[in-house]
Amino acid sequence: MKNNKVLITGGAGFIGSNYVEYILQNPEDEIFVLDKLTYAGNLKNLETVSDKITFIKGDICDEGLIDKLFSEHQFQKVVHFAAESHVDNSISGPSEFIQTNIVGTFNLLQASYKTWMTGPNALKDEFGNARFLHISTDEVYGTLGETGLFTEKTSYAPNSPYSASKASSDFIVRSYFHTYGLPVVTTNCSNNYGPYQHKEKLIPTVIRKAISGEPIPIYGDGKNVRDWLYVTDHCSGIYRALQNGRLGETYNIGGKNERNNIYIAEVICDLLDEMLPKNTSYKELITYVKDRPGHDFRYAIDASKIEKELGWKAAENFESGIRKTISWYLENRDRL
Ligand SMILES: Cc1cn([C@H]2C[C@H](O)[C@@H](COP(=O)(O)OP(=O)(O)O[C@H]3O[C@H](CO)[C@@H](O)[C@H](O)[C@H]3O)O2)c(=O)[nH]c1=O
């Protein structure tokens, strides 16, 4: 007999599929994965676990489908990854971001509210430990200068249509806690990397371009800084927040691995020189290109709240995680 029915939205995407693999190491719950399979979702990401989950192809913006799934399965937990996530796409076409990230999140909250909180069994019996875990981003805080860290108390100041849509969703989640008492927890993560990441992001782009001998595009002067988090470390943080996070709270999850973009490109090239040698260094392919409009300069996370309250700590540093990541892509070149 399984403990809980857990709905994982966006579970065929990069972080979602890593999380599904992560929690199935301890298969006490019944896992339902809901994913629209946009360009960023891939059933291959779930190949190793396909016999252990129920997969549903569908869109969180489809209110009728969401209501139907909740009334049919009576989920006790929701782990909400489904989102449009690529900043560059939000600049060229923001509409999908507003729909999926805001309206889709609202549909899930509303269905959770109806299932868990209306009727005679409100938050009792099988819904006594109900949880809605909302996965968000550090980009909601805007940009930092050379110093400082984002804490959970940093004011929201999103700069791109993507981060504005995630900030909006965070606020709607917050409102369901304060207004209705919906049992929610939100996590805000820094830049993830690792197996299954979509090829549009910086790290797979550098690996792909290098291997194919094409120019490696670095936006602007390459000095922008991101705080890199190995995806499995993110998954362990999400799991702790789901199990023991305080209701209505937000937890920042970051790897304490601040690196600038040119450093990232150079390290990948150095490792490829070692792992896949050729006559000249891959570094010669690094090419500075036009900057991203409104490009945030630096993100860096203070993760002390989740470390102290929930006993979480990132296990991987960038230099060890990137070696594993490159090995994975070299073995799975079709993913580039
Ligand atoms: C794709 C690409 C990116 N870049 C730069 C832009 C950024 O400064 C940095 C990382 O870019 P991206 O991989 O697109 O990731 P970024 O914009 O930081 O956002 C990521 O990290 C966020 C968390 O901070 C997530 O919320 C987003 O969903 C995720 O996409 O590298 C390049 O210089 N060249 C490139 O080709």
The predicted-structure confidence for 6-61, as pLDDT tens digits, reads as follows 999 999 999 999 999 999 987 789 999 999 999 999 999 999 999 999 999 999 99
pLDDT tens for each residue of 249-306: 999 999 999 999 999 999 999 999 999 999 999 999 999 999 999 999 999 999 999 9
Best residue among 149, 219, 229 to mutate for probing ligand 1, ranked by most atoms within 8 Å of CB = 219
By the 10 Å C-beta count (0-12 exposed, 13-18 middle, 19+ buried), 99 is classed as middle
Distance 325 CA to ligand 1 centre (A): 16
Are 45 and 196 in contact by the 8 Å Cβ rule? The answer is yes
- Catalytic status, residue 67: no
ipTM score of complex: 0.99
Interhelix angle for 318-331 vs 202-211, to 10°?
A: 50
H or E stretch covering 219: strand 216-219
Q: Supply the angle between the helices 63-73 and 105-117 in degrees, to the nearest 10.
A: 30
Tokens standing for residue 131: 């949880």
Q: Which of 85-94, 112-121, 257-266 has the lowest mean pLDDT?
A: 112-121
**Assigned CATH topology for domain 5-194+230-256+300-315:** Rossmann fold (3.40.50)
> Can you give the pLDDT at residue 124?
85
Task: Determine the average pLDDT of the residues in 217-237.
Answer: 98
| Beta bridge partner(s), residue 217 | 287
pLDDT digits (tens, 9 = 90+) for 315-328: 999 999 999 999 99
The answer to whether the CB of 229 falls within 8 A of the CB of 257 is: yes
Residues with CB under 6 A from ligand 1: 85-87, 137-139, 190-191, 201-202, 205, 217-219, 224, 226, 261, 292, 299
pLDDT at residue 184 is higher than 90? yes
Residue 282 annotated among the catalytic residues of the structure? no
